[in-house]
Structure 1
Amino acid sequence: MAIRIASLRPQDHTALVEFARTGMHFGRYVPNVWLARLYARSFLYQELAQATIALGAYGEGDRFLGALLARLDDEAPLGLSWCQRLYQRVYGVAERLLATGTESAYDRANAEMLAAYRERHDVDGELLFLAADPDSGARGVGTALLDALRDRARGRNLYLYTDDACTWQFYERRGFSRIGARTIDIPGTKGRATGVMECYLYAGTL
């Protein structure tokens, strides 16, 4: 299947929420499917708010196949629409009332790994998000998106966060190296841990 890379279209955001929810396995710490969808949408908007590059992959009949979001530190973010900003405000209030602590532990682990890496290395930005439609049957979507990013940001040193539930091997096969790892608890109700997750920091020069 031929894959065309273009600017990500706003109408593809809803499909991308589902790609994120399933591909990043949000259900393991947000077991209710509807809450997981709300969380996935907030996560996507959080990444879109930072992104300076938003690419979509399209196939036959203009079918949406996947997307890549990245931030280059010397470029201005694309930003969110007013309704997306409103969603984030409302979700933020609900999250503070219902949060179990997963996100703060994950963010803390990532921040520690990045701080240690920055002590000895310069970074030019972050690969924020990469996801493909698991049901499309198309091969090479992630590679096509990463190649398009490389064309735009060749020679830049980017980092990315991932974890043991995601396809971190994809990044290793494309020149990224694991820089750090942290283990955190996956909290359940009433503060009881329901398992552990491995958080990883990768970095590579495009």
Structure 2
Amino acid sequence: MAKISEFLVVVLVIFAFLLLLGGVGIYLLVKLGKKAAVKAKQASTRLATHVNAMGTGDAAEVERLRLDLRREVSLTRQAVEQAQREGWGLGDLPRLLADLQAQADVHDAQLGMYAQQRRLSPYVDHATLDRLRQHQAKLTAMCARIRADLLSDQVQHTGSGIADLTSRTDLEIEARRSAPVDPLEQIDELYRRSMEERNDRP
């Protein structure tokens, strides 16, 4: 009887452990599924934007503006991240970029709303479209200015490195050259050789 109860306890412990593992597995699958759903939604939104940008008219133009803005912000973010990896002193630039990215997301949502309304309604609000274009121009100009400043700093740093390397190369080449021979010593050497040749003749 004791052996049977021990066996049942072992089976129940194993069963409880398997239930616990199953619960953890289900939890992780649900969490992974939610992340996959969010990624799929983002991908479908981007795909829809690309497809809608291929058309003509105001809605397609606005979709192209959205794509341009995303590209500009992405390029700027990559430039700032590269500068951070290389250890450049960026000051408050990463925080400024975060604010710029947040504002670009708001602007992107506004552009998306305008494009959707433009596709569904025949009535056009030209004043809003002009303001959206102005905001777009300001945001993309800020991105371009940030990238240009970072690139200028990098080129300046590279230029100083190249100048240092050039001066070191010049010094090394100069050090490798043999010391110039004194012309008087050359004349003495030639005279000595000619005298030796005369003495060697019978």
TM-score by length of 1: 0.21
* Greater fraction of residues in helix: 2
Task: Pick 1 or 2: higher relative contact order, CA cutoff 8 A, min separation 6.
Answer: 1
TM-score by length of 2: 0.21
State the structure with more CA Rg. Answer: 2
